[in-house]
Structures are given as structure tokens and as C-alpha cells.
Amino acid sequence: MKRTLDDLAIFGGPVAFREPLYVGRPNIGNRERLFARLEEALDRQWLTNQGPLVGEFEERVADLAGTRHCVAMCNATLALQVAARATGMTGEVIVPSFTFVATAHALSWIGLTPVFCDIDPETHLMDPGQIEALITPETSGILGVHLWGQPNAVEVLPEIARRHGLPLVYDAAHAFGTRHGGRPIGAFGDAAVFSFHATKFVNAFEGGALVTDDDTLARKARAMRNFGQTGQDEVSYQGTNAKMSEAAAAMGLTSLEFMPSVVERNVANHRRYMSELAGVPGLRVLPLGAGNNHQYVVLEIDQRVTGVSRDTLRSVLAAENVNCRCYFSPGCHTMAPYRTGARLPYTEAVSDLVLGVPTGMAVDDDDISRICQIIRFVVTAHGDGVRFRNGSAGRTSARQLERTPR
Ligand code: T4K
């Protein structure tokens, strides 16, 4: 329990957590089931190139995503590239800037130009109201992002895409298991791409998948992930090597079996953060809808009210062994490969405020109460003292916050 500034580890007090807590701690399922599957694969001597475990994983994922097809891949970044190629994207692609940089890199790495769109500051999702102004004769597609597992304008975006004759792909890296209006999230757009990276709530060590209801698109994607091959001696498309291995599928299947417990834990964790931090001035826990998989808990810290910046709070927590992440700061449009001087006011404002906090199976109610006690202690009464003693107002300067457009 922190009662004075001297109790904070950053100022020499005792560290609150002996073992470090992380955002993105993998949820490990049943090890015996994993090892049994690995044994099977070794006994079969079939390790990759569409083995039976990958086939089983694809069936399970398609089922949960509500789509006819699932094409499993080695990660979501390559799956996004395959999706872009298979849907015929060629020039500019409209995409939010407030996302993990993989969304933008996936496009630019294959010669496409990401055109960054601003977000709705309430949800952090790409604002469909700003998309049409970005459409030019060079536009060849829209890549929406279901950030934090939230559906990105799944009613409006398909309509905009249809009106302009553009393919719509969703980066659903955060959204596996999410539902909207009773429908699984995979049902929206021409295709959606999931990530099964170790840090995701369902993981295949590294992994990804493209899901779609479009038979032609699925066939193309299936070929493109395997060097464009459509038969043993037949190459019909340019392709890449984006195949999922049997070892990854073994982990993915094991992780899928564990998914209900993880979702239950994540929902409880999110609720706990919401209740522990309710009413703290200048602090907001991003609310998530009922169908969300709740794999991220995102705070916004408004230094104008708290007296302490997001970055200072992050340092205070890191000293206590609570390792938070500034997902996703800064916006992609300000990163070196994409900087053009264009301004996206909401993206810039929000990316200065966000802090992802630990969740998943690695934290329990007691951990969250203790994390929140430290946050409350710093934010409600001691922001000025922490800032003064820390000798810095953090990266979110008063000038930056003045341009916060809300
Ligand atoms: N689109 C979106 C919207 C995405 O968020 C992502 C990935 C993608 C596309 C691309 O998906 P993939 O191609 O990766 O399938 C991590 C993940 O590597 C990345 O998959 C994820 N999003 C992103 C949000 O987070 P980093 O660079 O922040 O990872 P890292 O190594 O700093 O790890 C994050 C935290 O997780 C650390 O605090 C430690 C903890 N951790 C990590 C690993 C790998 C563990 O405790 N154990 C582990 O094994 O990108």
C-alpha cells in the first residue's frame, strides 16, 4: 500500500510486485495436450505444408469466425499482405494511423501506399466520416482495423467500399472471438485477418489467418501463401511463403481449447479495472462492448487533470514491476517511414494519452487492485509531487495537450 511518495519504488520505496507483470503475457493452455499434438506431428513426420493439425486449426477458426473459409498463415502481417494481393489492391489503401505499425508495414512492404485516416477519439477506431475525402483515383482498397477488438464501422464501411467499388479488408488482429450484433466478426468485409501471435489471447506461438466467405478469394489466398502454387507443377499467381507450421497449429489448437477460460478472465479483469478506477478524475478506462474478447485494457491519462503524464505514470508503474505499453504511440503517420507532415489531430491527441495495462491469465483480482491503488495514489492526490520529484512532465507536454481536440 502506497501512502507517501517515499513508498513509491521510483523514489526508493519497496517494489510492489516481486515478479514482473506484462501486457501481452502469453496464455499457456494445457501443456500435455500441446506435447501430445507435437508428438503426433513428429511421429507422422509431417511438419508443415498443410499438415492435418493446420487443417484442423483452420476448421475451428472458420467455425468461430463464422466464415466458410480460413487460410492459416505464419503471422498476421503476411496474412494482410496476402489479403491485399488477393483482393487486387494496387495503389493507395486507406488505413487508420492509430494501429500497430504492422498494419501500415504490411501494405508498404509490398509497394502499396497507406493513406492514413483519423479516428473517433471516443473509440479509437478509424472514423468512416473521414474516409470519402481521402478517396482518389489511386485508391485501390480500404483496410479497416478492429482495434482493441471493437468492430470498425462494420455497417458503414462496407457500404462506402461498395459505393466506390473498393475491396474492404479488416485487420482483425485484436478481434478473434469478437461478435457484433450476434454475428462473429469475421463475417464483415471481403476478408478479415486475425493474429495468433504469442501476445494475443489465442496464440500459435506466431500465427495468423485470413477468413472469408468468398470462394475465389479463399482459393487465391490459399495459393498465394504457398508460392502462388495451384498444383504440384502449376504456379498461377505471384506468391510468398506464409504457411503455418504443424508446431504452430498444435499450439493454436491447444490455445483454442483454453479460450473460454481466457475470455472469462479478461472480462473479469476489465470489469475490475473499470470499477477500481471509476470516478478517478482525468482517467478513463476504454469501455468495451459485450461481444468484445477483452484482450486489451486501455487507459487514457489526461495530464491536464491528473497533473501527471501518461509517460510518468508508466515509469512509476514500471518501477513497481508493472510493465505497461503505450499502444499505439505515436501514430503511424508520424513514424519515420510514413512521415509527410500530414496532421491527424485525434490520432495525435489519443496516442499521447493511452496506456495498455496487464491483463490475461497472468493477473488476478488482487494484482489489479494493487495496480489500481498505485494509479489512484499517483493520479488523485500526488500527480504534482510525482512530476516534481521525477523532474519531468513526461512526453505529453502542456502544449501538446492544448491541441487535444476534445
Ligand atoms: N495488426 C495489428 C493491429 C496488430 O496489433 C498486430 C500485432 C498485427 C497487425 C500483426 O500481427 P502479427 O504479424 O504479429 O501476427 C507485439 C506483437 O509482436 C504484435 O503481434 C502485436 N500486434 C503488438 C500489439 O504487440 P511488440 O513489439 O509490442 O512486442 P513485444 O516483444 O514488445 O512484447 C509485448 C509484451 O509482451 C512485452 O511486454 C513482453 C510480453 N511478452 C511477449 C512475448 C513475445 C511475453 O511476456 N512473452 C512473449 O513470448 O509487438
Q: Is the CB of 103 under 6 A from ligand 1?
A: yes
Q: Are the C-beta atoms of 164 and 93 separated by less than 8 Å? A: no
Is there a cis peptide before residue 328, judged by omega within 30 degrees of 0?
A: yes
Q: Which triple of cell numbers denotes residue 261?
A: 477460460
**Beta strand 168-171 pairing with 139-145:** parallel
* Distance (Å) from CA 23 to ligand 1 centroid: 9
Which pLDDT score, from 0 to 100, does residue 380 have? 83
Q: Are the C-beta atoms of 269 and 360 separated by less than 8 Å? A: yes
Element (H, E) at 345: helix 345-351
Q: Is the CB of 270 under 6 A from ligand 1?
A: no
Given ligand 1 and candidates 109, 152, 197, 205, which is best to mutate, with the most ligand atoms within 8 Å of its CB?
A: 197
Lowest mean pLDDT among 93-97, 184-188, 227-231, 390-394: 390-394
* Distance (Å) from CA 207 to ligand 1 centroid: 11
**Neighbour tally for 156: CB within 10 Å:** 14
**Model confidence at 397: pLDDT above 70:** no
pLDDT digits (tens, 9 = 90+) for 135-184: 999 999 999 999 999 999 999 999 999 999 999 999 999 999 999 999 99
pLDDT digits (tens, 9 = 90+) for 305-343: 998 999 999 999 999 999 999 999 999 999 999 999 999
Q: Are the C-beta atoms of 69 and 62 separated by less than 8 Å? A: yes
What is the fold, at CATH topology level, of the domain defined by 31-255?
Aspartate Aminotransferase; domain 2 (3.40.640)
Q: How far, in Å, CA of 362 to CA of 93, rounded?
A: 38
Element (H, E) at 320: none
Q: List Cα–Cα distances, 61 to 184, 205, 253, 322, in angstroms.
A: 11, 16, 9, 33
**Model confidence at 1: pLDDT above 90:** no
Gyration radius (Cα) of the chain, Å: 22
**Neighbour tally for 39: CB within 10 Å:** 11
Lowest mean pLDDT among 95-99, 204-208, 401-405: 401-405
**Model confidence at 225: pLDDT above 90:** yes
Mean pLDDT of 350-359: 97
Phi, psi values for residue 139, rounded to 5°: -70, 130
Q: Can you list the pairs that 132-135 forms with residues at least 24 positions away whose Cβ atoms lie under 8 Å?
A: 132/160, 132/164, 134/94, 135/94, 135/164, 135/166
Which pLDDT score, from 0 to 100, does residue 197 have? 98
Which pLDDT score, from 0 to 100, does residue 101 have? 98
Q: Which triple of cell numbers denotes residue 229?
A: 502454387
**Model confidence at 402: pLDDT above 60:** no
Given ligand 1 and candidates 74, 81, 100, 206, which is best to mutate, with the most ligand atoms within 8 Å of its CB?
A: 100
Q: Do the two domains 5-24+259-389 and 31-255 of this chain adopt the same fold?
A: no
Q: Is the CB of 323 under 6 A from ligand 1?
A: yes
The DSSP call for residue 160 is H
**Model confidence at 404: pLDDT above 60:** no
* Distance (Å) from CA 182 to ligand 1 centroid: 28
Q: How far, in Å, CA of 101 to CA of 331, rounded?
A: 8
Q: Are the C-beta atoms of 344 and 331 separated by less than 8 Å? A: yes
Q: How far, in Å, CA of 152 to CA of 175, rounded?
A: 10
Q: How far, in Å, CA of 308 to CA of 32, rounded?
A: 46
**CATH dotted code for 5-24+259-389:** 3.90.1150.10
pLDDT digits (tens, 9 = 90+) for 56-93: 999 999 999 999 999 999 999 999 999 999 999 999 99
At 386, is the pLDDT very low, low, confident or very high (cuts 50, 70, 90)?
confident
pLDDT digits (tens, 9 = 90+) for 244-262: 999 999 999 999 999 999 9
Q: Which triple of cell numbers denotes residue 282?
A: 482525468
* Distance (Å) from CA 381 to ligand 1 centroid: 34
β-pair partners for 139: 92
Q: How many helices (H) and strands (E) does the chain have?
A: 13, 16
Which atom of ligand 1 approaches the CA of 206 most closely?
Answer: 15
Q: Is the CB of 171 under 6 A from ligand 1?
A: yes
Q: In 66-119, where does DSSP find H-type helix?
A: 76-86, 102-108
pTM across the whole model: 0.94
Which pLDDT score, from 0 to 100, does residue 396 have? 37
Q: How far, in Å, CA of 345 to CA of 341, rounded?
A: 12
pLDDT digits (tens, 9 = 90+) for 11-41: 999 999 999 999 999 999 999 999 999 999 9
Q: How far, in Å, CA of 54 to CA of 371, rounded?
A: 39
* Distance (Å) from CA 24 to ligand 1 centroid: 7
Q: List Cα–Cα distances, 187 to 19, 67, 101, 211, 254, in angstroms.
A: 40, 6, 24, 8, 24
Phi, psi values for residue 327, rounded to 5°: -75, 125
Domain residue limits, the chain: 5-24+259-389, 31-255
Which pLDDT score, from 0 to 100, does residue 391 have? 63
Q: Which amino acid is at 256?
A: L
Q: Which triple of cell numbers denotes residue 251?
A: 499450439
Quote the percentage of the chain above a pLDDT of 90.
90
Which pLDDT score, from 0 to 100, does residue 400 have? 34
* Distance (Å) from CA 230 to ligand 1 centroid: 32
